[in-house]
Chain A
């Protein structure tokens, strides 16, 4: 169940398993990238298989491109029941993916129950608002650097 008053939401890096960081992928198009993101969430034990369809449905409704070469595919509200455990996955496509004319290098897949995604998106957006951090994430080749970049600087809060 959601807990809107939880004062200490999980951090991005705490929900990101090392095996869920994949830094050297290719995708033929946006839908392929979303399916790969869904597959990574499925392997992480975060969702059941129907969540990927909810992710594709959301993308048809509105693009999850957020700028800085990053997209955040996630399910629709009706896909919430498919979330088993909150988790994050990071997929990097060094050659880029055409995202309705935008060049996406990193997909951050998010599965969260209740309102957990609000705090997670806030942390992620805060990281990406720093152009140097966003550029470093697009270029990251080690999972340790991804962890470092996704741990928000306390001074930004």
Chain B
């Protein structure tokens, strides 16, 4: 199991637009990725409803996890996405 712990950079948190972009990216990485909130709730990172249900705000720390050969590449890409402000209009 590989993990990345990241503080969410989007100024409005992981809500509709950043959550959509993130879960779409998670669905494309080729391995199942989970997203866990600081409160300990874990969801499928590729599920926009799952991501939204966590109610993640700006600066909240989340953990990404995945298994398999592709896990590190996938997690690096998704962690980079969370490190980016996805809500710049």
Contacts and interface: CB of A to CB of B under 8 A. Distances in A.
Interface of A: 4, 58, 61-64, 66-68, 72, 74, 76-78, 115, 117-119, 121-122, 124-126, 128-129
A147 B19 CA distance: 26
Contacts of A63: 20
B13 to A, nearest CB: 5
A121 B89 contact: no
A69 to B, nearest CB: 12
Contact of A117 (B15, B56, B58, B89): B15
A78 B89 CA distance: 8
A119 B55 contact: yes
Interface residues of B, number: 22
13 contacts: A62-B16, A72-B16, A74-B16, A76-B89, A77-B87, A118-B13, A121-B15, A122-B52, A122-B53, A122-B54, A122-B55, A129-B47, A129-B49
A125 B17 contact: no
Interface of B: 11-13, 15-17, 20-21, 47-58, 87, 89
A4 B57 contact: yes
A79 B15 CA distance: 15
A124 B57 contact: no
A129 B15 contact: no
Nearest to B18: A62
A61 B53 contact: no
B89 A129 contact: no
B50 A129 contact: yes
A126 B39 CA distance: 15
A121 B20 contact: no
Contacts of B16: 58, 62, 64, 66, 72, 74, 121
Contacts of B13: 115, 118
A125 B49 contact: yes
B11 to A, nearest CB: 8
Contacts of A72: 16
Contacts of A74: 16
Contacts of A77: 11-12, 87, 89
Given A61-B89, A62-B16, A118 B55 contact: yes
Contacts of A66: 16, 48-49, 52
